[in-house]
Amino acid sequence: MFFADPRRSIGALLGMGSDPVRGLTPIIALCMAIWALPAHSATACDEAQNIRLLKPVELTAQQRAEFRAMPPLKVSAVGAPPMARYDEDGQTYSGIAIDVFCFIAQELGLSFEVTPGRDQTVAEKIREVQEGLADVFIPLSHSAEREKRGLFTLPYYESHYAVIARHGSRVSVHSVADLANYKVGVVQGVSLQPLLQKVVPAAQLITYNDTTSDVIFQAVRDGEIDVAVFNKVIFIEKRYRQEFFDLDVVRTLHEYPRAYRYYFSRSPAHESLVKAFDRYLAVIDVSASVMIHEEGERHFFERYMAQRDQRVLLQSASAAAALLALVFCLALLRYRRLTKLLAERNTHIQQQQQALQEAYKKLQTLSRTDGLTWLSNRRHFDQMLTHEYGRYRRTGSPLSLLVIDVDHFKNVNDQYGHAVGDDYLRAVAGVLERSVARSTDLVARYGGEEFTCLLPDTAPEDAWAVAQRIAQGVADLNLPNASVVPPHLTLSIGVATILEGDPGAQELFAQADAQLYTAKQLGRNRVRATIIGRAVLQKRVG
């Protein structure tokens, strides 16, 4: 386990006054605690720095004093990357859920301990929280049955279930209803289980309650069940770690998003604590943590494939050497047989290498893609901006850039919830893709509710037309946004076009961003444009 206590000074822990005898017992307790702490405990919450608040959370002095006075929380966790990943060597958890929990604990002055509990099933850990034997479970998705016996916070991360089958099987799943045609496996107690029980006949629905999820995947491989319904992100990592390359995701259940939350045991103190957590979760920005931990998975996959390639090459070299030695020792009569065997081995190796290359290409695509909107992400945009600016310097052709912000987006989240906010962002992304048709153009989600459009070989008037088309397209969606004027979703857009000179790619972005800022200052719902070194264009949209 690892401990975190951001609130107490050494003097407060010792509790010593003028009488050294009175301080003896606290000193002994402190020494025993330090001896029990692992060497890495100080770094267990280092990645909380990846979390930031979009606005401050105000708490009264009395509330903070009550939280600081709470005994250390007993936290039960389960390995579910990228939210919580268990390090066998360090015996600690890390991930998005840990970063957020550490951050809020530091803000509230809470101390806590995370117990690995590697010999317990997920259902057993959840039951501990429900029975008050543990305070918090990390991470868990919401269900009405669980809420009756515990307290859920607001969500901090969303993923999806997937239908997993053997590679090459004739499983055809277009919706959850199609699962009724198959023998389905699911981990006992997951939030989707009640829905599956309504759809899949009882004789065909097999539940698994083991300390590791590997059992359900082995059941698919052995043919005990036709498909498994499991978290997609966790399966992808396990597929590489456990070499389940004969299993594939045949369907992602986007219609049933899985929002992860913290699950507290029921008590008056925890009710107050959950309310405080919700206030932080409502204004928290986890994008940096998500990028780091999802990027960590990608680096792991790349390292794994590189090591696997090396092993395959070593195996092929060993096989070739053995075959050559055998050919040398045997008579010419057996030469043709050995040559055929060598060719078959090489074909098998080539097939393995091709499969690994295809997997690597898929991972490269994922690394350039925003997980919510499936547009290009910020890193890919930065790379393409540098590339296109270099081409502008060589050819002198105009280069235009749009920086787009969704007006009053915080109001959407506050009024309708983050799930609706995500739907709005996906709808805006669809308008952007339809409005920018050329293969050379790039549309990206830059972060939060901000998007960018990179338009090579595009004159100022054409860039202006694209911006107008995008703004009108979003207005035509007529997505409600109450309490603002106008009461529907609108955009503010900054446009910058460079025709001559060499101010640098970052200056081009800065000019477009400045135009966006001006558009927002002038009341939002409008387009502002500039040509570097020339007069400014302005027009109200809507």
Query: Structure tokens of 513?
Result: 């961003």
Residue 235 CB contacts under 8 Å (≥ 6 apart), including other chains: 162, 164, 217, 247, 249
* pLDDT of the residue at 491: 98
pTM for the full model?
Answer: 0.47
pLDDT given for residue 8 in this prediction: 44
Domain formed by 378-540, architecture:
2-Layer Sandwich (3.30)
CA gap 146, 36 in Å, rounded: 34
The per-residue pLDDT for 287 is 92
- Looking at residue 468, its pLDDT comes to 98
> Who's near 367: CB < 8 A, 6+ residues apart?
295, 298, 379
Domain 2-156+261-286, CATH number (from 3.40.50.300, 3.40.190.10, 3.40.50.9100, 3.40.50.410): 3.40.190.10
* Torsion-angle region of 91 (φ positive above 0: left; ψ -120 to 50: alpha; else: beta): left
**pLDDT on residue 310:** 74
Q: Which residues lie closer than 8 Å to 36 by C-beta, 6 or more apart? A: none
Burial class from Cβ neighbours inside 10 Å (0-12, 13-18, 19+) for residue 403 reads: buried
Task: Judge whether 462 and 379 are in contact, CB under 8 Å.
Answer: no
The CATH-assigned architecture of domain 158-258 is 3-Layer(aba) Sandwich (3.40)
DSSP per residue over 498-514, as a string? E-SS---HHHHHHHHHH
Query: Is residue 94 within 8 Å of 87, Cβ to Cβ?
Result: yes
> Which positions of the chain have pLDDT values less than 50?
7-18, 20-24, 26-43, 535-542
pLDDT tens-digit series, residues 346-375: 888 888 888 777 766 667 677 899 999 999
What is the predicted pLDDT for the residue at 333? 82
What integer pLDDT is reported at residue 126 of this predicted model?
A: 94
Block residue for tokens 């105009």: 398
Over the stretch 270-289, which tens digit does the pLDDT of each residue have? 999 999 999 999 999 999 98
* Residue 301 pLDDT: 57
pLDDT of residue 17: 46
Q: Which residues pair with 257 in a beta bridge?
A: 160
Separation CA 6–CA 264 (nearest Å): 20
Hey, what are 420's tokens? 């609706």
